[in-house]
Structure 1
Amino acid sequence: MEVCYQLPVLPLDRPVPKHVLSRRGAISFSSSSSLFGSPDPRQLSQRRGAISYDSSDQTALYIRMLGDVRVRSQVGFEPERRVSHPYLCIDFRNLHTRLGCSSESASSAPERRVHRLLSFQRYLHSSRLLRGIPQQIPLHILDEDYTGQAQCMLEKVGNWNFDIFLFDRLTNGNGLLTFHLLKQYGLVELFQLDIVKLWRFLVMVQEDYHSDNPYHNAVHAADVTQAMYCYLREPKLANSLTSYDILLGLIAAVTHDLDHPGVNQPFLIKTDHYLASLYRNSSVLENHHWKSVVGLLRETGLFSHLPPEDSLNMERDLGSLILATDISRQNEYLTRFRVHLDQENLCLSKAGHRHFILQMALKCADICNPCRPWELSKQWSERVTEEFFQQGDIEKKHKLDVSPLCNRETNTVGNIQIGFMTYVAEPLFAEWARFSDTRLSQTMLGHMGLNKATWGGLQQEQALTSEEGEPGTDAETAGGAATTAGESSSKEIPQGNTES
């Protein structure tokens, strides 16, 4: 599969943009090279990143990145109408400009200065550094001698009761859990991964998750990675998966929601966001997560020492796993899984069957929040519901139709979770238990049953409390789960109690 494409040549009758920006981890530009022949300062070479454009538009080079970020010339064309929602609009500054170089001299220079467009998280970090604001020093990912409670927790990382929230606090949000797992499996040495490149890749992954998202953030990515590790240790998988499968599964888990904007696919479609157009309204977010991962892998050169064919296969297989987390394709994967189990024809000695099981494992890891102990599951439920409600608030503010489950006035955490568990989580984990009937699978089903009953009890208490002042509330609350049921199979319910 071709991942990189050439950007269009700038029209000869227009000046080269004075500031060419590219999202770090997504796009890189070089003004001194060309795929068509000798270097030409009016050409921009092949991009190395996550999102590809091949436009025949000769009016301007105009690329819109996530958050309505733009690459533009200061003259020569009128700004495009803003169709992305204001919530996603982010203004970026030009960083790393050449000192002592005026704009006129920069535009006339034969060799253009390359500028980088940082992701929102890294932009904020760089801005603080430029303003002299000290940064919190994270626990070093390269240190194997982790101290205190963090080390104790890593020793129990295979425990299903692992508290990812506590681990995040102890490690200052540093993504050393994935690094620890890769080291534990011996994958760093086996695949001859450069430690510095690996560290840089994981730090960039950490930074590209939006920390202001209540749910789709780096903590969710770490939680999915820890769950994936638990599944990889299940006997059927542990005895069958290759080292390549394990490496693929861990990287897919930690990057499966990379650069998630905190809103769902229907929101992007109805606000005419560029991502929806780019991916033709199909698996929009999942495609973006995948291409973002490809960008980081190529920028860091993590697999550059491998033969090109192997590197491309890795990128393709990562995409296959990440795209499987699309909740709108839940029934498709679940039906296929049931057929395999009914016919008892899963053969994990076949690469294709192993890859399918990895897809199902990642899907389970992504929506395993209802299967955690109540103290953890409740936190995830509140986080994902708050992210839904924030989207609904934005839709109300801008006179848009409020998406299902996103109206805080008609939905509660309880009815959303009961509907999700009944129509999405329970069918999936029931089939997973058929495939891997172990103590872990039974534990997950047990927790989900208890959590569902607890939410049901809380719903009844709320209904009785509000019944005195609002007689119709009880009926509305009782119908909440039914409303959720009809919406559960759509993209409105993200993976992991949320859409991926």
Structure 2
Amino acid sequence: MEVCYQLPVLPLDRPVPKHVLSRRGAISFSSSSSLFGAPDPRQLSQMKAFLAFTCANIDSVCPKYTGDVRVRSQVGFEPERRISHPYLNIDFRTLHTRLDYGSTSESTAPERRVHRLLSFQRYLHSSRLLRGVPQQIPLHLLDEDYTGQARCMLEKVGNWNFDIFLFDRLTNGNSLISLTFHLLNQYGLVELFQLDMVKLWRFLVMVQEDYHSDNPYHNAIHAADVTQAMYCYMQEPMLAKSLTSCDIILGILAAATHDLDHPGVNQPFLIKTDHYLATLYRNTSVLENHHWKSAVGLLRETRLFSHLPAEDSLNMERELGSLILATDISRQNDYLSRFRRHLDQENLCLSNASHRHFILQMALKCADICNPCRPWELSKRWSEKVTEEFFQQGDIEKKHKLEVSPLYDREINTVGNIQIGFMTYVAEPLFAEWTRFSDTRLSQTMLGYMGLNKASWSGLQQEQASVSKEAELGSAGADTDGGAAARRDSVGATAAGGTSSKEIPQGSKES
């Protein structure tokens, strides 16, 4: 049960000081609310009876829950800590009811069990709530200066050089929520599909939460990066004039959820360790099936599409799954062969719904592995992150005496050779065919960056090889010089009569 301490209420006509409103955590709506089209906190503060605070302790404000305003607790407030789920303590109208009154009809035991099966992280959060353990996940609000910079970046969200790492810092670790909401709003999909804002916001928060922040690569920032790339592809002329609103919302949601609840290990690892997910999905597209079902679980839990006809809602879930399943890298050649066959026969017709869906699948596949096509600074950073995740799995396999997966042994592999191989055998064939389909400035830019990045990795490999060779030669030279010096010293000592001649062969032997 939530406890709200009522403080003395000032006269209603007395304005709240600006420095109180600007203080982090002062009111329920953050200073970033205008970024998402929400009311300005200072406008809300002028509405009577919305805030109650005391002059004796002007630095702390206790908002009152009025049933219409989202408030949060300040328990465990840590000013600068970044987390993957900063809005857990928001009392959304539906979430507030379900947390406080577990006996409501919407919060049934079977539903809670399904919810816990979807994500181990959210199972832990739920367990803490049920055990009465106080939440240690505070809500962090953005400074206005940072909000302005994030807004400026979103104005150029279609730029291929978009720095998702910088955007993640400017949004205080909420790049996936901010970017996805912005794109849905920019396309007018929120209004078109009559999406409830509370449900949508809750859905996006839960999606971001279900990405494991301790994964070096498969985390919420990667999902935001893929979503931004997907938007760039959907803005290409051939797609922009052909995609329907349903295609667009599915493309954005699929990109945002395509690696949901990724455990940080690959499918072969799950299979050889007899993981329950491998058994559940019969060793076929194990991770991708789990990402899809996790996304569907969140859609149903938040009831985001509950206002749509049941048939339409189910169809959207199936189409979402078809897009996410296409990201299975083990089926890369199947999709690439089909894509190449369509291009050879020139029979792609984007007025055909099935053809549009296939192109969306290919676009999502490109977005998922587009890191080699980014500018060098971004591409190198992503390469290091994905390789570190590979090496972490290899370390686990060594620890448990399992066969180490190819390219996952940090002792015999480098970032450079892994990336060069990936570009040569996976990325280049895919993006070459995409360029055949959509030969635009963006496609040429991506191929250009990939060529430069491949050359840069080759150069780094050669430099490392040269350094290693010089080190070996230097070591060998040092041994040779040391042997020669020992011989000279031994001969000199013998001539002086101070050392036995038996020491001379020893010096010669060392050389």
TM surpasses 0.5: yes
CA contact (8 A) 2:147 2:171 kept: no
Matched, 1:189 2:191: yes
- 5 Å-filtered alignment, 1:437-476, equals 437-469=439-471
Structure showing greater Rg: 2
1:433 maps to amino acid? T
- Partner residue in 1 for 2:262: 260
Structure-2 separation of matches of 1:125 and 1:148: 32
Shift of 1:121: 3.7
Which deviates more from structure 2 when the two are superposed, residues 428-437 or residues 124-133?
A: 124-133
Shift of 1:147: 2.9
- Partner residue in 2 for 1:340: 342
**Larger RCO (CA under 8 A, 6+ residues apart):** 1
Structure-1 separation of matches of 2:371 and 2:321: 23
Task: Tell me the matched-pair count.
Answer: 360
Structure-2 separation of matches of 1:259 and 1:449: 33
| CA distances 1:385-439 after superposition (whole Å, capped 9, x unpaired) | 0000000000001111100111000000000000000000000000000100000
Matched, 1:167 2:172: no
CA contact (8 A) 2:212 2:219 kept: yes
- 5 Å-filtered alignment, 1:284-433, equals 284-433=286-435
- Partner residue in 2 for 1:217: 219
Structure-1 separation of matches of 2:378 and 2:121: 26
CA contact (8 A) 1:138 1:173 kept: no
Shift of 1:148: 1.6
Shift of 1:146: 8.6
Judged with a 3 Å threshold, the aligned counterparts in structure 2 of structure 1 residues 410 and 188 are, in CA distance, closer, same or farther, namely same
CA contact (8 A) 2:372 2:423 kept: yes
Matched, 1:130 2:122: no
Shift of 1:468: 3.7
* Structure 1: stretches of 5+ with no match in the other structure: 1-97, 100-110, 472-500
1:160 maps to amino acid? W
SS in structure 2 of the partner of residue 293 of structure 1: helix
* Structure 2: stretches of 5+ with no match in the other structure: 1-98, 101-107, 474-511
CA contact (8 A) 1:210 1:261 kept: yes
Judged with a 3 Å threshold, the aligned counterparts in structure 2 of structure 1 residues 132 and 246 are, in CA distance, closer, same or farther, namely closer
CA contact (8 A) 2:147 2:170 kept: no
Matched, 1:157 2:157: yes
Judged with a 3 Å threshold, the aligned counterparts in structure 2 of structure 1 residues 180 and 123 are, in CA distance, closer, same or farther, namely same
Judged with a 3 Å threshold, the aligned counterparts in structure 2 of structure 1 residues 217 and 138 are, in CA distance, closer, same or farther, namely farther
2:341 maps to amino acid? V
2:160 maps to amino acid? W
1:130 maps to amino acid? V
- Partner residue in 2 for 1:271: 273
Shift of 1:173: 1.9
| CA distances 1:87-131 after superposition (whole Å, capped 9, x unpaired) | xxxxxxxxxxx99xxxxxxxxxxx979866654444566759934
Return the TM-score normalized by structure 2.
0.67
CA contact (8 A) 2:223 2:257 kept: yes
Judged with a 3 Å threshold, the aligned counterparts in structure 2 of structure 1 residues 321 and 402 are, in CA distance, closer, same or farther, namely same
| CA distances 1:136-195 after superposition (whole Å, capped 9, x unpaired) | 41559xx9x993211111111000000000111111222110000000000011111111
Judged with a 3 Å threshold, the aligned counterparts in structure 2 of structure 1 residues 124 and 376 are, in CA distance, closer, same or farther, namely farther
1:405 maps to amino acid? L
Shift of 1:329: 0.7
SS in structure 2 of the partner of residue 210 of structure 1: coil
SS in structure 2 of the partner of residue 147 of structure 1: helix
Structure-1 separation of matches of 2:337 and 2:386: 27
- Partner residue in 2 for 1:22: none
Return the TM-score normalized by structure 1.
0.69
Shift of 1:135: 1.5
Structure-1 separation of matches of 2:342 and 2:135: 59
Structure-1 separation of matches of 2:142 and 2:122: 18
Aligned match for 1:242, one of 241, 244, 247: 244
Judged with a 3 Å threshold, the aligned counterparts in structure 2 of structure 1 residues 132 and 221 are, in CA distance, closer, same or farther, namely closer
Judged with a 3 Å threshold, the aligned counterparts in structure 2 of structure 1 residues 115 and 422 are, in CA distance, closer, same or farther, namely closer
Shift of 1:300: 0.5
Structure-1 separation of matches of 2:253 and 2:137: 31
2:151 maps to amino acid? Q
CA contact (8 A) 1:121 1:211 kept: no
